[in-house]
Amino acid sequence: MAVNAAEQRTFRHLPGYFNARQQAELLLHIKDILEIAPLFQPVMPRTGKAFSVRMSNCGPLGWVSDKERGYRYQPTHPVTEEAWPAMPKLLLDLWLREARYPAPPEACLINLYQEGAKMGAHQDRDEADFSAPVVSVSLGDAAVFHVGGRKRTDPKVRVTLKSGDVLLLEGESRLAYHGIDRVIAGSSELLARCGFAEGGRMNLTLRRVTGVG
Ligand code: MD3
Ligand code: FE
């Protein structure tokens, strides 16, 4: 029998983990972070093709990508070359409560989906330690997310991620292929209300990059 994340459901979906007030608080904190660490548009290694998602980071390390040096984590913003801002306490508390891992997260990747942005199927393999979970928070417009197995061809399940939802990827699902098929534009007013004129969806992913000890 095939063994994969989709069938075993080794991910945990916690719908409505953050209430409306907490979602707004978190988003306003991210807005402050983006003033210091502005969104950038990463490009893929070798091809130089731009991602449709714009990104930034907070925490000691941030995920970046460019044509020459590829996917990596680094302590500074690729354009300003300044250190990344600190992670909001709400996110550190989420990790403490839910990650079941003996060290704090090192990176929080901020993904902004606007104007039809999506993310094709991929594995997250740029971290040194896969025993730590990935913890994701969705804000704003809902999105159709898919997760399969360690092989690209493994069967997938689809989950709609809504504003305030948390998704934990641990065990077998940590190395599963996954992606965002589409964002359901206009399904939430959160981003537009908090000063992102075009609305859209924001996703925050908390990660341990280096492992423990
Ligand atoms: C499943 N982000 O940043 S979050 C990414 O909504 C990424 O922006 C998507 O995939 C987004 O790499 C999906 C949920 C997620 C995050 C990490 C995973 C699912 C995952 C790692 C392994 C398996
Ligand atoms: Fe990913």
Which residue out of 125, 152, 177, 203 has the highest number of ligand 1 atoms within 8 Å of its CB and is therefore the one to mutate? 203
Q: What is the pLDDT of residue 211?
A: 83
Residue type present at position 11: F
Distance CA 203, CA 165 (A): 10
| Residue indicated by tokens 């390390």 | 61
Q: What is the pLDDT of residue 1?
A: 44
What does the pLDDT read at residue 213?
67
Which strand (E) or helix (H) includes residue 96?
Answer: helix 89-98
Q: Categorise residue 89: left if φ over 0, alpha if ψ from -120 to 50, beta otherwise.
A: alpha
CA-CA distance, 25 to 194, in Å (whole number)?
A: 9
Contact 63, 54 (CB under 8 A): no
Residue 141 in domain? yes
Residue 200 to residue 183: CA distance in whole angstroms: 8
Instruction: Specify if 128 maps to a domain.
Output: yes
Total structural domains within the chain: 1
For residue 195, give the CATH number of its domain: 2.60.120.590
Q: Is residue 71 part of a domain?
A: yes
Q: Stretch 63-84: mean pLDDT, rounded?
A: 97
Question: Containing domain of residue 41, as a range?
Answer: 5-207
The pTM for the full model equals 0.96
Q: Cα–Cα distance between 170 and 58 in angstroms, integer?
A: 22
C-alpha 124 to ligand 2 mean position (Å): 5
Answer yes or no: is 213 within a domain. no
Averaged pLDDT, 196-212: 95
Q: Which residue has the tokens 């714009």?
A: 54
Q: From ligand 1's centre to the CA of 186, what distance in Å? A: 22
Q: Over the stretch 1-20, which tens digit does the pLDDT of each residue have?
A: 455 666 667 899 999 999 99
- Residue 148 above 90 pLDDT? yes
For atom 15 of ligand 1, the residue with the nearest CA is: 136
Model pLDDT for residues 152-175, shown as the tens digit of each residue: 999 999 999 999 999 999 998 999
Residue 33 domain-assigned (yes or no): yes
Backbone angles phi, psi at 108, to 5 degrees: -125, 110
